[in-house]
Structure 1
Amino acid sequence: MAGLFGARLALAAVDYDEHVDAVERETAALAAAFGAAPLEARVPTCPDWSLRDLAEHVAQVTAFWTHILCEGMGRPKTPYAERAPDPGVDAWYAALGAHLVAELRATPPTTTIWTWVEHDKSACYAARRCANELAVHRYDAQTAAGSPQPIAGPLAADAIEEIFVMIAARDDPHDGGGQVLGVRATDSRDRWTITLAPEGPQLARGDGDAGLTLSGAVSDLALALFGRPTIGPVDPSGDREILDAWYREFTFG
């Protein structure tokens, strides 16, 4: 087992251009999903939200990072309408997504920007954060229309690792008792060991001595760790209370 990951988590094997390509794909898929169901439809994976709520949340995230990139490069901020139009929500969000992609492509990856983590103040952080958040919320939006699609394998693996960047940046209390959760992809060589340490969850690449092991396609593993129902099966082997302990440590709305 190699490479303990926590607050100093390094980037996974997805580079800046790949993250930007993923943002382009996910924003296009989000726009299509927002237009595929009524805006008042409930989102099964986020039961407190309507599709309108989700669209406006995702639009806010998209515009936020667009403006952060504009500030970093000294460019004027792109204005946006906060209220999702109906009809026309798909075109409204497609335009927002296109602005974000354009800013990412026009911004060198080493550009200094504001972020909420001390170890990475670069545009790379924004590209990664956007790619992974938009992928999960794209899945959410597609569930409202009854047609969820998996997250691309390399991006799903990256999303799993980025969880621990998010956890390290949060000022949340932890109550881990040393439980160990193994995560094993059946469609790639990806393996992780998560330790629910008292100071917060820690991630290591590779197999470890786990009290519970989750096995499945890497997209389904990412969805499970983000608290989403999966498309394919995820097989739990061991003490299932460890998964409940994980959800006490990490939630993603």
Structure 2
Amino acid sequence: MDTSAYLDAVVERTRTFADWVHGGDATAPVPTCPKWTLADLVDHVGATQRMVAMLVGGRMTEPSEAFAGYVPGPTDSAEWRTWLTDGAAEAKRAFDSVADDTPVWDPSGADAGVPFWSRRLLGEACVHSADAAAAVGTRYDLAPEVAVAAIEDWLDTMTSRGYWENRPAFADAMRGDGQTLHFHTTDAPGEWVVRREPDRVVLEHAHTKADVALRGAGAELLLVISRRRPLAAASTLELQGDRALLDHWIEHMDWVTDD
């Protein structure tokens, strides 16, 4: 998927999210994000899209101005659908106004800029729509190709130099001496090998023997690695190898509370 395709998917996924939450109980808990209410979830999704639109559209190489411009969501849930879809449209316009090599700050540590943010917004939309589905009690579906892109975003961001440097607890937990985890989607092409080294986590796109492997449909794999569904409840996924190593990895995917 390219930047334009990512943003098209963001708009579509946000529209689905908006339909699910529109007119909902703002105080309803979000089971997959225990510290959040439905209003918190809506606020996070819409405000993040607007902040990224400011960063990208403003070609910002320093993020403080965009962070200072955080716009909270409406308190009236009857306004949520319009507010959310407007935010996604605003983000798409911002990306349409730049090229992939336009200098824009991002937290990856790799100066990934515009491509980083386009994929990050898609990952956000996919994972947080799962949160919305859990909160309102509706079924969660995701096209296989979109699920693969969201998994790529999750793994690439988690293994980035910026994440390692800015999350010392994560870095301490992930230090290793070559332990490997293999993730494989079966309904669309997608394979990743994660290797824990003393000073970094290495992500490779490869098919190779690993200490533990988890394979299955992209949507369910995304939900498990993002801690939106317990592995025990993911009956269609196939696990081979060191379960404790996988459990340790998932335990430290801490965006459930920090995102």
Q: Secondary structure at the match of 1:49?
A: coil
Measure, in 2, the Cα distance between the counterparts of 1:132 and 1:239: 27
Paired residues, number: 236
The answer to whether the 8 A contact 2:46-2:83 is kept is no
Measure, in 2, the Cα distance between the counterparts of 1:101 and 1:45: 28
- Corresponding residue number in structure 2 for 1:236: 239
Change (3 A) 1:110 1:228: same
- Corresponding residue number in structure 1 for 2:74: 84
Shift of 1:80: 7.7
Measure, in 2, the Cα distance between the counterparts of 1:181 and 1:200: 14
Change (3 A) 1:81 1:202: closer
For 1:19-76, what per-residue CA distance to the aligned partner results, in whole angstroms no more than 9, with x for missing partners?
1111111221221122163221111211221111111111221111011123118xxx
1:251 corresponds to which of 250, 254, 257: 254
> Of Structure 1 and Structure 2, which has the larger fraction of its residues in helix?
2
The answer to whether the 8 A contact 1:183-1:215 is kept is yes
Q: Does 1:127 align with 2:118?
A: yes
1:165 corresponds to which of 143, 157, 165: 157
Identical counterparts, % of pairs: 27
Cα RMSD (Å) of the superposition? 2.4
Measure, in 2, the Cα distance between the counterparts of 1:48 and 1:245: 22
Shift of 1:123: 2.0
For 1:191-249, what per-residue CA distance to the aligned partner results, in whole angstroms no more than 9, with x for missing partners?
22222223232222222222222121022112211111177622222221111221244
- Corresponding residue number in structure 2 for 1:32: 19
The answer to whether the 8 A contact 1:150-1:220 is kept is no
- Corresponding residue number in structure 1 for 2:87: 96
Q: Does 1:217 align with 2:217?
A: yes
Structure 1 stretch displaced more, 204-213 or 238-247: 204-213
The answer to whether the 8 A contact 1:174-1:200 is kept is no
Unaligned runs of 5+ in 2: 61-65
Shift of 1:154: 2.2
2:172 corresponds to which of 174, 193, 200: 174
Shift of 1:188: 3.0
Measure, in 2, the Cα distance between the counterparts of 1:121 and 1:192: 19
Q: Secondary structure at the match of 2:240?
A: strand
The answer to whether the 8 A contact 1:45-1:228 is kept is yes
What TM-score comes out, normalization by structure 2 length? 0.81
Q: Secondary structure at the match of 2:147?
A: helix
Q: Which has the higher contact order (CA 8 A, sep 6+)?
A: 1
Measure, in 2, the Cα distance between the counterparts of 1:36 and 1:240: 41
What TM-score comes out, normalization by structure 1 length? 0.82
> Of Structure 1 and Structure 2, which has the larger fraction of its residues in strand?
1
Change (3 A) 1:184 1:83: closer
Q: Secondary structure at the match of 1:142?
A: helix
For residue 172 of structure 2, what is the amino acid of its counterpart?
H
The answer to whether the 8 A contact 1:42-1:144 is kept is yes
Shift of 1:108: 2.8
For 1:158-187, what per-residue CA distance to the aligned partner results, in whole angstroms no more than 9, with x for missing partners?
232332234321223233333222222222
Measure, in 2, the Cα distance between the counterparts of 1:121 and 1:205: 18
Measure, in 2, the Cα distance between the counterparts of 1:198 and 1:153: 34
Q: Does 1:141 align with 2:114?
A: no
The answer to whether the 8 A contact 2:145-2:188 is kept is no
Measure, in 1, the Cα distance between the counterparts of 2:99 and 2:11: 17
The answer to whether the 8 A contact 1:63-1:100 is kept is yes
Shift of 1:81: 4.7
Q: Does 1:69 align with 2:56?
A: yes
